Structure formats: C-alpha cells, structure tokens
Amino acid sequence: MNKKWGLMATLLFAVALAGTMIYSVIEVNRGSQLRTLKGFINLNVEAFFKDPRVQQILADHRFKVDVTRIGSRDMAAKVSTAPGAAQFFIPSGVLVAQMIKEAAKKLNLTATTYNPFYSPLVVASWEPVAQILVANGLAVKSGDRVYDLDLGKLIELMFQKKRWNELREHQNYDVTRSVLVATTDPRTASSGAMYLALVSQSLNNNEVVTDRETARKLAGRIAELFTRQGFKENYVNSVFDDYLSIGMGKVPLGLLYEYQPVSHAMAKKAFPAEAVLLYPKPTLFGKEVFVALNEDTKELGELLSTNPELQRIAVEYGFRGTNSTLFKEMTGQVGFAVKEIVVDVVDPPASEIMDEMITVVTDAMK
C-alpha cells in the first residue's frame, strides 16, 4: 500500500514539475516575442529604418517595425482607431506633427511626441557663387567651405529680380539666370513649406506671422518666388540629385536639409570640389518628430532618442541627435565641414497660419 501511494506521489510531482516547466517556457516565449508596430514615416528616415543594424537593435528590444513611406502632409489623414491602423508616425517637421496630434485628439487618442533626430535647413551652393554673395554683402565665410547667409538681404535681391551677371564680381559665374533659391513644391513637400515660413518671417520684420490677414498678404507676395522657379520637385532628394549631377548651371542655390550632404559624405561618396554649404540666418530645424499613439510606441520613441548606437547610426545618415559631440566627431572623421553649432534658429508659424499661407500660394500657382 505504501509503495502504491509512493508511486502516485512521484507521478503527481512529475506532472506538477512538467506543468511548471511548460508554464515557464510559455512565459519565456511571451517575454521574447517581438512586438510588431505599424507606422508611417517620411522619406528622410526611410534608409535609417531599412538599415539591418537598426532592425537588429530594435529586435533586441523586442520591436519589429512595419513602416510605410508617405508624404508628411498626408499623415494626419491616416490617424485612425480601426484595427491594423498605424501606431506611430514620423513626419518631417513640427507643423505636421501638430496636425497628427490634433487628428488623434479628435479620436480620443493620446499622442506623445519625441525628437530623436533633426537637421537644419541649408542652402547648397558653389564656391564661385558664394564669392559673389560675399562681394555683395550677402554672405560671410565662417569655416572651410561653410558660409553664413544673410537671408533677409538675399530675399530683397530676389524680389528685385536681380540676375547673377548684374551683381558685383560675377565674372566666375557670368550668367543671365535670375537669383533664386531652388526649392521643393510647398504644396506637397515639407522643405518647400519651411522655406515659405522662413521668407514670411523675414518679410514680417523678423517676427513669426500670427494672424491670417498678414499670412494671406505675405503669402501672396512669396508665391512669386515659387512660380518664377518654374518646375519644382516634390521631393527634396531630387533637388540634391540635380545639385550633384548637373551642378551650378542648374542649381546655383538649392534648399536642402543638412543631413543630405552630410550623409553623402559619411558614405564616403565623391563630393564636388567647389561645393559649399550656406547656413541661412535665420534658419529652421527640420525635426524628425516621432508621434506615439500607445505605450509600446512610446517605448520605441524613447529608445530612438536615447540609445547610443541608434544615435550613432543616425549620424551616419546625416542627422544631428541628442548628442551634439557625437555629430561633431563623426563628421570630422570624414573631413566634412559643417557649422558646429547652429544658434540663429526660428520657429515656424502655427499650423493654421501655415495652412492659410499654403492655400494662398496654391491658388497663385494654379
């Protein structure tokens, strides 16, 4: 009898032990299971998220991101509570991020923003062109192949419809082309809209435009600077491609994000010998804003902002991040000159004012 009970006790213990082991395995699997997060991203950060190193770091933190690239200005319309809807967004710029937050609020969704990377707006140019700007009091050399650009004076020149061969000391760029900055289309691209914001502030006595009447009035003037360009690209990468491949005959002055030439240099690709960067005074920061709509994506936003290796990889793609020293060190290692600290920075108008100005420009460009 005792042997029988002993055998039963042994069997019960074995079953209990097996159950505990199975439960433990299930818990371990649950703990190591990847969390798939769906999001919409802009073109600027697409290469970063496709990088296998980034994907591995995210997987190490139990994240798998399913991202789709769309235009930043199309993102707010994608905010939804439907099953399978996007859980995070990465637009280019704070204006679109605010539009996403407002759309989320209407659906009773809590949106939290993070700023893991950013890039100042710059004007890509050429040494002969920069020398003309210096001779005419529009630019000052501030480093090797780096200049400060007086945006207000340049805007005055553009509205005067000056041509390059009408400026002093133009002999090294003796062309009849009008002095204009090549931009993207403000109706579709964030960089074009940011240029609109910068010019509006300059024309508004260096004050942010805050009322609709002023916004409409100024936008009506600024529209000329877009229409006189002729065809405008929808993506800022296309402006950079023309700058590199065609040169100053096509793009003597091109509005870019700093990350574009920096990432080109970081990849050790050939850069034209006479290429220079002009930093507008003032300028705007193009922030890659991470908008999280739930707890998991809040954790992802925090990881992108604080993980040292992710920040290092972001610099490889040309972005400034939360560690300014790292950006300086890495750009210095490839011998690419940038403005170390950009301090003359302004904020864009509120989203409703920008919408008003874009509407006016859109009507003028029809």
CATH number at residue 51: 3.40.190.10
Question: Helix, strand or coil for residue 86?
Answer: coil
Nearest Cα neighbor of 43 from 237, 217, 296 is 237
> Quick one: pLDDT at residue 274?
94
**Crossing angle, helix 212-227 and helix 351-364, to 10 degrees?**
40
Across residues 236-263, what is the average pLDDT?
A: 95
* Judgement on whether residues 231 and 293 belong to the same structural domain of the protein: no
pLDDT tens-digit series, residues 220-249: 999 999 999 999 988 898 999 999 999 999
Domains held by the chain: number: 2
Q: How far is CA 85 from CA 72, 115, 294, 348, in A?
A: 17, 22, 12, 29
Which residues 6+ apart lie within 8 Å of 164 measured at CB? 129, 132, 170, 173, 174, 175, 176, 177, 178, 179, 252
**Is 262 contained in some domain?**
yes
Residue range(s) defining the domain that contains residue 209: 120-285+343-364
Cis check: omega of the bond before 128, within 30 degrees of 0: no
Across residues 96-122, what is the average pLDDT?
A: 95
* Judgement on whether residues 143 and 96 belong to the same structural domain of the protein: no
* Judgement on whether residues 77 and 188 belong to the same structural domain of the protein: no
* Judgement on whether residues 280 and 305 belong to the same structural domain of the protein: no
**Is 21 contained in some domain?**
no
Question: Helix, strand or coil for residue 287?
Answer: strand
Residue 25 above 50 pLDDT?
Answer: no
Task: Indicate the length of the chain as a whole number.
Answer: 366
pLDDT band at 10 (very low <50, low <70, confident <90, very high): low
pLDDT tens-digit series, residues 115-145: 999 999 999 999 999 999 999 999 999 999 9
pLDDT band at 23 (very low <50, low <70, confident <90, very high): very low
Across residues 295-306, what is the average pLDDT?
A: 97
> Quick one: pLDDT at residue 11?
46
Across residues 87-110, what is the average pLDDT?
A: 94
In whole angstroms, what is the distance from residue 135 CA to residue 142 CA? 15
* Judgement on whether residues 260 and 292 belong to the same structural domain of the protein: no
Across residues 98-118, what is the average pLDDT?
A: 96
pLDDT tens-digit series, residues 146-171: 999 999 999 999 999 999 999 999 99
> Quick one: pLDDT at residue 21?
44
* Judgement on whether residues 131 and 179 belong to the same structural domain of the protein: yes
Residue 285 Ramachandran class (φ > 0 left, ψ -120 to 50 alpha, else beta): beta
**Is 248 contained in some domain?**
yes
> Quick one: pLDDT at residue 12?
45
> Quick one: pLDDT at residue 6?
52
pLDDT band at 95 (very low <50, low <70, confident <90, very high): confident
Q: Which helix (H) or strand (E) holds 17?
A: helix 2-32
* Judgement on whether residues 214 and 238 belong to the same structural domain of the protein: yes
**Is 280 contained in some domain?**
yes
**Is 97 contained in some domain?**
yes
**Is 81 contained in some domain?**
yes
**Is 3 contained in some domain?**
no
Share of the chain above pLDDT 90, in %: 79
Dihedral sign, Cα of residue 192, residue 330, residue 70, residue 252 = positive
pLDDT band at 15 (very low <50, low <70, confident <90, very high): very low
* Judgement on whether residues 232 and 98 belong to the same structural domain of the protein: no
Number of H helices and number of E strands within the chain?
14, 9
> Quick one: pLDDT at residue 253?
98
In whole angstroms, what is the distance from residue 19 CA to residue 7 CA? 18
Nearest Cα neighbor of 117 from 299, 294, 283, 306 is 306
Helices (H), 228-350: 236-245, 259-266, 295-306, 308-316, 324-333
**Is 10 contained in some domain?**
no
218-224 contacts, C-beta under 8 A, 24 or more apart: 218/357, 219/356, 219/357, 219/358, 219/359, 219/360, 219/361, 219/364, 220/360, 220/364, 221/159, 222/196, 222/357, 222/361, 223/360, 223/361, 223/364, 223/365, 224/159, 224/364
* Judgement on whether residues 222 and 74 belong to the same structural domain of the protein: no
pLDDT tens-digit series, residues 182-234: 999 999 888 999 999 999 999 999 999 999 999 999 999 999 999 999 999 88
In whole angstroms, what is the distance from residue 309 CA to residue 147 CA? 31
Mean of pLDDT over the chain:
90
> What SS3 string covers 170-235?
CHHHCCCCECCCECECCCCCHHHHHHHHHHHHHHCCCCCCCCHHHHHHHHHHHHHHHHCCCCCECC
* Judgement on whether residues 42 and 167 belong to the same structural domain of the protein: no
Phi then psi for residue 81, to 5 deg, are -105, 5
* Judgement on whether residues 223 and 202 belong to the same structural domain of the protein: yes
Q: What is the pTM of this model?
A: 0.87
* Judgement on whether residues 348 and 210 belong to the same structural domain of the protein: yes
Phi then psi for residue 130, to 5 deg, are -60, -35
Residue 94 above 70 pLDDT?
Answer: yes
Residue 20 above 60 pLDDT?
Answer: no
